[in-house]
Structure 1
């Protein structure tokens, strides 16, 4: 879809603007009716006449107005057709225009008008022309057959229209859902990036202020670390925000972080952190790699926030055959502040990341009774992802 058409749809308060219907069917009917009737009249050795041709062409061209004023248009078309038969015009393709006009009236919901007008037209023809019983029954059968065909065609057209409308609704719903999921993903990324780096900056700023008079060199080192953390935070935020722009307008300036940067993350954690690799390191699917990095990042951030001073952390990355297991533990050695609420943004964000990949995440007291806190995530690789990662 082009940009202009998309803008037009968005600007319309009632949804997409329906396509304009041209006069093509009206012109075709104005050609088919007199031509078909002339052929059939030739078989009957009858003549249509100039007035007959004019009425047949007129009733066809009158259909061009059927969508704007379906009831008035139907009455005009029926009147022209009845006039043709009252002038003793030969039987031919004369009911095509009334059938098309009736379909437009049925689509507008005026079924009663079609029935009443058809009955009135038939009664007028019978009273004025005085046909034989056989002719009257034949005409009645022809009108009834045309009505059944028109009714069936209207039902089919309504079903098709409803199906198209439902497909459009489902497509719009999918687009809204994808947009919502993308916004949630961006919000989670920003929460992880800002929470991690701002907590580091806050802690190091406190250290710098404490040591500024007693140990200027250590204070300078803390300020250098603040500068590095803030620069890294800006780069990651820019990379996340670039996903808001259409492809080609703004490419990310840095790749999405993954476990290849785990050493940088733990070195920059501002608390003693030990890394344990369980299993054989191998390439991971991008979504799993990114989610594992963010879970470790948020886990270390929560330890800094809640475990107090003197705590040490352990990050365990377990490479299983069909899953990646990520654990972030603290040893309980610090003066623990209140634990993060189970529904807090950090834990909720980590749990949603794991669930989005079909995995699960638990957070709670460490099972060894040390008084520490453990975050454990299992991120399934899946059969196809495992083959891709090990190929």
Structure 2
């Protein structure tokens, strides 16, 4: 608000300064033209010139009053004045042009209409007095319209430039918002991938480490340690593979880590049997059931389905204890349906217990991104259930 008041005060000072300058120029022209033509300036002429200048001072404060004052004083000067100068034309041109270009169309039309009406009345009185119409008559009626048209053209140009500028700003803002949205989506995707890779393997390592700590038989302890070693190796390989994709750089020849990353198999529903074996060895007996004909799934759907099954089994391994799990994959014509059930400890608080991290949220996000849906919750007969539906379109 203070800035607006300051700008408005500066605009009023500018209008008053313009009015003073125009009034001084008009008065000077009145004296000069009077001296050159031997005509004595009249008080009425000065008053009408002052009225037009006063209208310039009111352009911002009272546009319609300014338009009417300028529109009336200009023709009356030529009708009642004694010295014929172009000073009123200057006043009218500046005033009406400013009003029209600044968007005060009613005020500009009001001033132009008043001028044309009085000029037409003057020409009519001239004809009735025995005079005749001349080129000067048409000029006198045409120039106010030209000034109004010029002001309208300037207003349209300013409006066009403002619209172009606004469109550019909107486009820039839209590009920034889209870039931010893409960055957020990419961060979520990376977070999901890293969570699924690390949570699964670390859970296996944790279970095997716990088993090794409680086993008194050295052979069984060594078997658990070998499982930990294998799970750690797989974790590093999948992590390097994921980070290699994110970095998108070519590894130098002979780089063992990069070679492992290149050899890491792509997560897919075709690897569910291998996944089930890993969980079975970790203590969660897992069975896989495939229904329907498995066709070539879009890569995004295949990856999401595998990650959902992997995360659901990881949750079962963490929270269900010594239990069994059943994975059912139904292949339909346009969608894949997934079901992961376990018979571990469920209870009414099962959802809250299993949703302590980001697992369920990540699975739901994967389904939503593909236009599918996911539900999860305790089973009435005990245990936990995860159901997902993923469309198979390639969008």
Alignment match of 2:230 (pick from 215, 228, 232): 228
Alignment match of 2:390 (pick from 365, 379, 390): 379
Q: Is the 8 A contact 1:308 1:335 kept in 2?
A: no
Deviations 1:246-291 (A, max 9, x none): x557897445411122222111111211111111122211111111
Q: Is the 8 A contact 2:374 2:387 kept in 1?
A: yes
TM-score (norm 1): 0.60
Give how far 1:379 is off: 0.8
CA distance in 2, matches of 1:242, 1:274: 32
Is 1:266 the counterpart of 2:266? The answer is no
- Matched with 1:277 is 290
Give how far 1:194 is off: 1.6
Is 1:126 the counterpart of 2:137? The answer is no
Alignment match of 2:162 (pick from 150, 158, 169): 158
Is 1:324 the counterpart of 2:336? The answer is yes
3-state SS of paired residue (1:273): strand
- Matched with 2:360 is 347
- Matched with 2:321 is 308
* Residue 266 to residue 177, structure 1, CA distance change in 2 (3 Å): same
Is 1:170 the counterpart of 2:182? The answer is no
Q: Is the 8 A contact 2:320 2:343 kept in 1?
A: no
CA distance in 2, matches of 1:335, 1:221: 30
Q: Is the 8 A contact 2:211 2:221 kept in 1?
A: yes
Give how far 1:204 is off: 0.6
3-state SS of paired residue (1:268): helix
Give how far 1:183 is off: 0.8
Q: Is the 8 A contact 2:330 2:336 kept in 1?
A: yes
Which consecutive residues of structure 2, in runs of 5 or more, have no partner in the other structure? 1-13, 30-58, 75-84, 91-134, 252-257
Q: Is the 8 A contact 1:273 1:314 kept in 2?
A: yes
- 1:48-63 matches, within 5 Å, as none
Q: Is the 8 A contact 1:126 1:136 kept in 2?
A: no
Give how far 1:235 is off: 2.5
Alignment match of 1:361 (pick from 346, 353, 374): 374
Of structures 1 and 2, the larger Rg is shown by 2
Q: Is the 8 A contact 1:207 1:219 kept in 2?
A: yes
CA distance in 1, matches of 2:168, 2:346: 63
CA distance in 2, matches of 1:182, 1:240: 13
Give how far 1:294 is off: 0.7
Q: Is the 8 A contact 1:306 1:337 kept in 2?
A: no
Deviations 1:169-191 (A, max 9, x none): 12221121111111111111222
TM-score (norm 2): 0.59
- Matched with 1:12 is none
Give how far 1:210 is off: 2.1
Which consecutive residues of structure 1, in runs of 5 or more, have no partner in the other structure? 1-70, 87-110, 386-391
- Matched with 1:34 is none
Is 1:297 the counterpart of 2:310? The answer is yes
Deviations 1:23-42 (A, max 9, x none): xxxxxxxxxxxxxxxxxxxx
* Residue 378 to residue 141, structure 1, CA distance change in 2 (3 Å): same
Is 1:288 the counterpart of 2:292? The answer is no
* Residue 153 to residue 127, structure 1, CA distance change in 2 (3 Å): closer
CA distance in 2, matches of 1:233, 1:201: 10
Higher helix proportion, which one? Answer: 2
